Amino acid sequence: MLIWRSVASNALTLFVVILIGLGVAVAMAQREWRSPGPLAEAVCLSVPRGATIQTVSEDLVAKGAVRSGMLLRIGAEYTDRAGKLKAGNFLIPPRASPDDIVGLVTSGGQSTCGSDINLRIGVADAAVQMRELDPASGEFTVVAEYPVADPAPAEVQTVLDAGFARTRVTVAEGVTSWRIADSLQKASFLGGDVAEVPDEGTLAPGSYEVTIGGDRDALLSQMAARQQEILTAAWAGRANGLPLKNAYEALILASIVEKETRIADERPVVASVFENRLNEGMRLQTDPTVIYGLTDGKGVLGRGLYRSELARPTPYNTYVIQGLPPTPIANPGQDSIEAVVRPADTEFLFFVADGTGGHVFSKTLAEHNQNVQKWRRIEQQQGTQQNQ
């Protein structure tokens, strides 16, 4: 009997020791789960479609991001995230804990490293650029760049087929709606068709995150919604006494300001010139509107205007018509819209290029003519230098 009591006592002691050991092991595992990991420099982790927590944990161990793949798998299972992996490229920062890493690869969203594919739509053309991020330096390297109408190079198509690159569309300020719609239709990584070219001026320039195969019309609707939001807010905060009847007229004038200057500080001053001319009953006499009347916003003219074109009547020729043209002539950015609704307080009625990329402004026609002569001499000098 005493023997059995001794055995029972020893077994109970062993059971207690095991429980204590398990408790210590659990506590250590919990601490390891949330403690900074061994990674010294950021790395890019690729999670392909159909990947499992097993393969991901093995990759993380190989990259030196975690000490124990088993701990990461157990933690992911315990927190109910093992089956929620998202395909993509994920930047794992230095010293990230296993808990942090599981959060990164299961939270979704755009890829944060690896390939960045960007359709850049400019005034004259559109091109697709693919860059790769060096996770250690945080710097991008251009891998490929090609016109949007061309087939994607093999290295780009491979990334697109994998399906988890970061993809974007970036629209420059002053691009026409036709250019945007045409470029989106030619972009091979987007889906659906452009039903129709949106009204001029109604699309907000800027950068838009898209998904591979994302719908083109849905993206255009997003651009239109953003532009309407910008215009509504700007018009609500407009200055008093503007020679503009409504927000749409502000949009028209903003598109002209956008095409006349690329210098941010000049926009309120250029806007003041046009609004002063409207107040005085003077014609706007701005070349970009004449060009739009000739091209209908489809492509660029690519040359100077002829005298005959400046005299040719079109609804957009502000040398001939009084007041504003019937529609915007491009899609203006937010700065140009805000410049129009809150212009600088000036008495300027004229401006001309100054040879540095900016403009010189004047109050009288006599001053303006002198500035024009200076500009002509600068043009001649630049032409002579180019021909030497």
How many whole angstroms separate alpha carbon 142 and alpha carbon 164?
18
pLDDT value of position 124:
93
Both tokens assigned to 76 = 């992911």
Q: Which of 61-65, 217-221, 271-275 shows the lowest mean pLDDT across its residues?
A: 61-65
What is the model's pLDDT at position 228? Answer: 98
pLDDT of residue 211: 87
Q: How many angstroms separate the Cα of 367 from the Cα of each of 173, 239, 266?
A: 31, 29, 19
Write down the pLDDT at residue 288. 96
The model's confidence at residue 137, banded by pLDDT at 50, 70 and 90, is: confident
Higher pLDDT, 49 or 121: 121
For residues 66-74, give the mean pLDDT: 87
Among candidates 255, 364, 375, 367, which has minimal Cα distance to 318?
A: 255
Q: Residue 120 CA to chain centroid, in angstroms?
A: 9
Confidence band for 6, pLDDT divided at 50, 70 and 90 = low
The pLDDT confidence band at residue 384, using thresholds 50, 70 and 90, is very low
The CATH number of the domain covering residues in 33-108: 3.30.1490.480
Sequential DSSP letters for 132-155? EEETTTTEEEEEEEEETTSPPPHH
Parallel/antiparallel/unpaired status of strands 166-171 and 139-147: unpaired
Q: Please indicate, yes or no, whether the overall pTM of this predicted structure exceeds 0.95.
A: no
Report the chain's mean pLDDT, rounded to a whole number: 87
| pLDDT for the residue 387 | 37
Per-residue pLDDT averaged across 328-341, rounded?
98
**Do 130 and 145 touch, CB atoms closer than 8 A?**
yes
Question: pLDDT (tens digit, 9 = 90+) per residue, 278-298?
Answer: 999 999 999 999 999 999 999
Query: CA 164 to CA 232: how far, in whole Å?
Result: 36
Most confident of 61-65, 155-159, 213-217: 213-217
Q: CB under 8 Å to 322, separation ≥6 — which residues?
A: 281, 283
Give percent of the chain above pLDDT 70.
Answer: 89
